Structures are given as structure tokens and as C-alpha cells.
Homo-oligomer: A and B are copies of this chain.
């Protein structure tokens, strides 16, 4: 439970990470509106953020939620990916624009008005929304707020992505920003959200920008597998939002001599943001890192890891600093038994915090080991009511070898605490 980092430390860290790559600017404004669904006496505030390139680029890529009810911005961005040029993205919080008859039209109307202000084609703009599902965007109020956002964009004196990371937050508990200096250029990325963990506020959004010159095809080839190995291997509460998206773009300013180095840096940025998202989950007390090795395929290893981190019994045991190892084995056995995976139980090994807890077909626990593991869990935890900066970067490490093959996958998850229930059940009561 030690705090190894203060809020000031964390903010300084973000500032030092946050420099914008060349060729990008950000702009912001706020506005108020009354959701038509609630009536005019309810006034809410919305943030409008712009992340823009100084000149249009051909180098951009995106990956989106597989949810069958994607938000209008997801539908719109998917189409815009087919276009030749990309100039930037307009991001709002509070309303996700999902399952609304006029959803796509509403987003398009906003982009059309923004294009006039920015002097570009609406086809070069994307939209990204996060918030309540089933409410309509206040398009008129958003359009009225555009001039102030554009003014902020043009003055763009700060050249640091920290404000973007903050402005796109909904109920996130801290801004999430990661970067790498690589090959003489930069990759800077911000993210918000924690799966669908938040009350009514859906969506993980991630925006990745770089000034390094790689080709459109290279970026589009790199991004999906990296997202697959990072953001798609986290699970806060097993729910996938209707609006999840990752957008990447390059301003194409600096030659990139080593594509492998670039790829590695992109992977690291995504991997760190994915962990930040889990750590940020409402009510997260412990971040759980499960590595499943010895599987027949990466998919199998990932599925077993997800079964473990999504088991409410495993999640609550870890929340309570309880090395209840029977639950680990049971959740693995449940998944394998129901999915036809004939795991050789006598070859399986499970470790918690580096200590072997299951081997040779059975548990190898002693009262002394129980005591050590309870202390380990306690040491890796944060008080889940903590609402500010992340106080440490510790994880609860569970390592499993299922003794069947050579494939491996690491999954990140979070525990299940009172704070989670408080955020998601006590919302309106």
C-alpha cells in the first residue's frame, strides 16, 4: 500500500512525456446543453477537443469495436478510413451517439460545419464521441462552440498532449499519456476509458500521433496486430463498448530509418496505455497480469488468461488479498472443460508472485506460503477508493504453464471491489 508517487510527480511525468510530434496541434472548448431525453431543466457540460494535422496526411489507420451496435462515429470513421486524406479528429465527451436514428447525419453535420471553419473538406475529418448510449448529440450547441475551439487550435502555444489527455477524460481518474522518442522523431499517444467500466460512460478511445514517415500501408499493417496484442488483451469487466476506437496518424515529417524500431516503440506505447487503462478502472485495487504459456495457440492462451481475469471469484479473492488458489485452478478447469481443451492436469504449473502454488496435479500450499502470498497481494494493491494519480505500477503476477504447446499470451485484468459496485450500481440510487 505504499505510495511511491505523488500527484505532482505524476503530472511532471506526464508533462515530460507529452511533447506533440511535429505537424500536430490541439484545440479545446467547453459548451453546455440540455439532453432532449431528460428535458430542458437539466443542463450538462461537454468538452469539445480537436486533434489536427497542420496539413492533410495520407498516412492514417484505425481499429474499431466489434460490438454489433457501434456508435455513429465508429460507422463514420470506418468509412473515412477509405479516403485518401486525413486532417484531424473532433472529440466530444458526455454523449456516445449510439443507437440514434439520426446518429451518422448528426456527426456529419458537425464535421461539415467544422470543415468550413478549418478550411478543409469534411471528408478529411473524423468524429469521436463517448458518453451516454441512446441520447442524441446536441449538434447545434456543438456547432456554435466550434469557433472557440478553432481559435484555441490556432493559438496552440503549449505543444503538449497533456491537455488532450485530460480533456477527453470522462470519469477516468487520471490522464493517460505515453510516448517514445525513436529514430529521431516521436510517437505520442493518449487514451481514455476503461472498457465499459464506467456508469453509462462507455468507450475506450486512443489517439496515436507521430511525425515519423512511414507509409500508409505500413501503418495499416502494423496497427491491428499491435492493438490485438495490447488493448485487446485487457479486460476490466469483460464488456466491450459500442464506441471503442484506436486512431493513428503520421504528419510524415521525419524519415524513419528503422521500421522495426518504430514498430517496437508503437507496441510499447500501446502496451503501456493498455495497462494505464486497467489501472485507471473505477474501483481497481489490483492490476492482475496473467501470463499463460505452453498453450497450443496464442488464441488459446489468451482465452484461458481472460477466463481467469474475468472470473468474479478470482477477482474478489484478489481484491481481498486472499490467495484463494482453488479459485484459480477452478476457473481454468471451467474454461478448458467447457471448450474441449484437454489440458494435462499433471503437467500444469501455476505460480503467484513467483511462488509455485500448483504442480504435479495438485496444490502445493503451506500455511507459511499462504501468509507470504497474502502479504504479496496486499503489497501489490492500492486502496480502490483512491481517486487520483496512480500511486505505483505494481501488478499481481500469475504465471501459468499448461504444458501443451509453445504459445504464450499475457492478459491484464483488474480485481472486483466495492468501489466497482458503488460506481455502477449506486449511480442513481
Contact = CB atoms under 8 A, between A and B. Distances in A.
A312 B345 contact: no
A330 B424 contact: no
A197 B315 CA distance: 12
A365 interface: yes
Contacts of A312: 237-239, 312, 416, 420, 424
A317 B239 CA distance: 13
Interface residues of A, number: 73
Contacts of A76: none
Interface in A285-339: 310-313, 316-317, 319-322, 324-327, 329-334, 336-338
A374 interface: yes
A427 to B, nearest CB: 6
Contacts of A358: 99
A333 B67 CA distance: 5
Nearest to A96: B326
A361 interface: yes
A228 interface: no
B239 A333 contact: no
Interface string A400-429: 000000000000000111101110111111
A5 interface: no
A68 B343 contact: yes
A330 B362 contact: no
Interface in A350-381: 358, 361-363, 365, 367, 374
Nearest to A374: B428
A343 to B, nearest CB: 6
9 contacts: A99-B362, A101-B362, A133-B327, A197-B313, A239-B311, A240-B338, A313-B424, A320-B427, A322-B427
Interface of A: 37-39, 65-70, 98-101, 132-134, 196-197, 199-200, 202, 237-242, 310-313, 316-317, 319-322, 324-327, 329-334, 336-338, 341, 343, 345, 358, 361-363, 365, 367, 374, 415-418, 420-422, 424-429
